[in-house]
Amino acid sequence: MIKWFTLLFLTPVLLLSLTACNSDPVQSSLSSEIQTSSNNESEPSDISSETKSPSNEEGSDIVKNNILVAYFSATGTTKALAEYAADALGADIYEIVPEEPYTEEDLAYYTGGRADREQNDASARPAISGSVENMEQYDIILLGYPIWHGQAPRIISTFLESYDFSGKTILPFCSSHSSGIGSSATDLQSLTDNTNWLSGERFAADTSKEDIAAWLESIGLQKTASSNANIGEFDFETKTVLLNSGYEMPIMGLGTYSLSDNECAASIAALLEAGGRLIDTAYMYGNEAAVGQAIRDSDVPREEIFVITKLYPSQYDNAAEAIDEALETMGLDYIDMILLHHPGDGDVEAYLALEQAVADGKVHSIGLSNWYVEELEEFLPQVNITPALVQNEIHPYYQENDVIAYIQSLGIVVQGWYPFGGRGYTSELLGDETITAIAEAHSVSSAQVILRWNLQKGVVVIPGSSDPDHIRENLDLFGFELTDEEMEQINALDRNEKHDWY
Backbone angles phi, psi at 327, to 5 degrees: -60, -45
Whole-angstrom distance, CA of residue 477 vs CA of residue 471: 11
Residue 336, H or E segment = strand 335-340
Whole-angstrom distance, CA of residue 84 vs CA of residue 65: 16
- What lies within 8 Å, CB to CB, of 79 at 6+ separation is 71, 73, 95
Q: How many CA atoms lie within 13 A of 496 on its CB side?
A: 2
Whole-angstrom distance, CA of residue 457 vs CA of residue 452: 9
3-state secondary structure 136-187: HHCCEEEEEEECECCECCHHHHHHHCCCCCCCCEEEEEEECCCCCCCCCCHH
Question: Helix, strand, or coil here: 390?
Answer: strand
Burial letters 297-320, b for 16+ CB under 10 A, else e: ebebebeebbbbbbbbbebbeebb
3-state secondary structure 16-85: CCCCCCCCCCCCCCCCCCCCCCCCCCCCCCCCCCCCCCCCCCCCCCCCCCCEEEEECCCCCHHHHHHHHH
CA neighbor of 368 nearest in space, from 356, 355, 382, 351: 351
Task: Quote the distance between the C-alpha of residue 89 and its chain's center.
Answer: 17
Region label for 345, one of left (φ > 0), alpha (ψ between -120 and 50) or beta (otherwise): beta
Whole-angstrom distance, CA of residue 392 vs CA of residue 371: 7
285, 312, 334, 398: the active-site residue: 285
CB 248 within 8 A of CB 225: yes
Region label for 10, one of left (φ > 0), alpha (ψ between -120 and 50) or beta (otherwise): beta
Question: Helix, strand, or coil here: 367?
Answer: strand
Q: How many CB atoms within 10 Å of residue 52?
A: 16
Task: Quote the distance between the C-alpha of residue 166 and its chain's center.
Answer: 16
Q: Could you confirm whether 71 is annotated as catalytic?
A: no
Distances (CA, A) of 350 to 312, 318, 346: 10, 8, 6
Q: Strand 240-242 vs strand 234-235: parallel, antiparallel, or unpaired?
A: antiparallel
Residues with a known catalytic role: 285
